[in-house]
Amino acid sequence: MAPGRRDRRPAVLVLADGTSFKGYSIGARGEFLGEAVFNTSMSGYQEILTDPSYAGQMVTMTYPLIGNYGVNTEDVESDRIYMGGFITREISRTRSNWRSSGDLDEYLRKYGIVGLEGIDTRELTMHLRSKGAMQAALSSKDLDIDRLLAKVTESPGLVGRDLVSEVTVKEPYLWEEGLVDEPEYEVVAYDFGIKWNILRLLSACGCRVTVVPATTTADEVLDRDPDGVFLSNGPGDPEPVTYAIEAIRGLLGKKPVFGICLGHQLLGLALGGKTYKLKFGHRGGNQPVINKEMDRVEITAQNHGFAVEPESMHGCRFGAVELTHWNLNDNTLEGLRCRDAGAFSVQYHPEASPGPHDARYLFKQFLDLMREGLS
């Protein structure tokens, strides 16, 4: 329990296997059913909270003290919080940063996010690492373990569920922050749950970026005649997002394509590959990846629970696929390239937020591909 806590309302977390954790409520009073996962980043909690890729999930922060530098209006990755639950060992009631405009507890309440503190997050993390990410109930309203477990059993998981349709933009828009006077490239960015720092970096590279809904067809994109197409990150299982897979197939070989995270998985499916659910996924700002093309290790920021099957990428209908990046923790595929189709992607987040900047060269790689064009 956090020392000096003023509001000691009880709250409980119940996992699908019957394991439960009793602690204290933070954020809004209520109940959320979703997948329980963990993130190993030591900071950047506001960026994590506002990442749409966490839709349908509750996130456990492995670092024990969260909230000490408060929140502000700048370090956000979208217009609101998309995850449903937030779990910490202790939330700080004292914020100390010159940029801070509010505290974390108030921020959670503002967006109606149910939270939990005062549990052993190390024990919870080790349990999820051993048993795998699983459905759970987080509640400060109903504290009955058996009743909550029954709700978890009946709740839908992530597999086979299209969460992209719940987070994507409704209408196309021009990203104006950081837009230079005479942008060199016109880019169409698919919003599968896009993080704003991706858009900031594309603009900083000299791109005029038009963000379009996930349901935008290939013909609608080609009518805009962009120099390149970006496939964004996003939540959940890529396989049900069939409209995006079909659109990507219609763009391959016609425009340069760059994908990140869910965009990587969707590109893999569009190229004829398969995806599968990871046991507990990769989430945090310290994931080691080897770049086989450059023969160097990158420390990366990641947030995904699905991956592309390497064996499924043989015999692609668009040409040979190179498997370019690999995760050094579990040897899962982290990057691919199809030169004949003018497309490449990575599973991790080169824009960081939060995380290191080892992989920002990928944006230059996209610029080079747009400059050279497709023969």
Give Cα 228 to chain centroid, integer Å: 22
What are the residue numbers of the active site?
A: 261, 349, 351
Output 294-299 pairs: Cβ under 8 A, ≥24 positions apart: 297/328, 298/325, 298/348, 298/356, 298/358, 298/359, 299/355, 299/356, 299/358
Q: How far apart are CA 21 and CA 36, in angstroms?
A: 12
> Radius of gyration over alpha carbons of the chain, in Å?
21
Closest CA to 41 of 265, 284, 297, 221: 284
The SS3 call for residue 101 is coil
Name the phi and psi angles at 25, rounded to 5.
-75, 135
Return the residue matching tokens 């933070």: 26
∠ CA 226-228-234, rounded to 5°:
115
Secondary structure class of 171 (helix, strand, coil): coil
The answer to whether the beta carbons of residues 173 and 194 sit under 8 Å apart is no
- Please name the helix (run of DSSP H) or strand (run of DSSP E) that holds residue 110, with its range, or none: helix 104-110
CB 70 within 8 A of CB 95: yes
Phi, psi angles (nearest 5°) of residue 353: 60, 75
- Number of neighbours of residue 242 by Cβ within 10 angstroms: 12
Residue 333 and residue 308: Cα distance in Å, rounded?
6
Identity of the residue numbered 233: N
Structure tokens at 40: 């190993």
Q: Considering only CA atoms, which of 295, 320, 294, 325 is closest in space to residue 308?
A: 325
C-alpha span between 337 and 339 (Å, rounded): 6
Which residues, in sequence order, are CB contacts of 76 under 8 Å at separation 6+? 46, 47, 50, 196
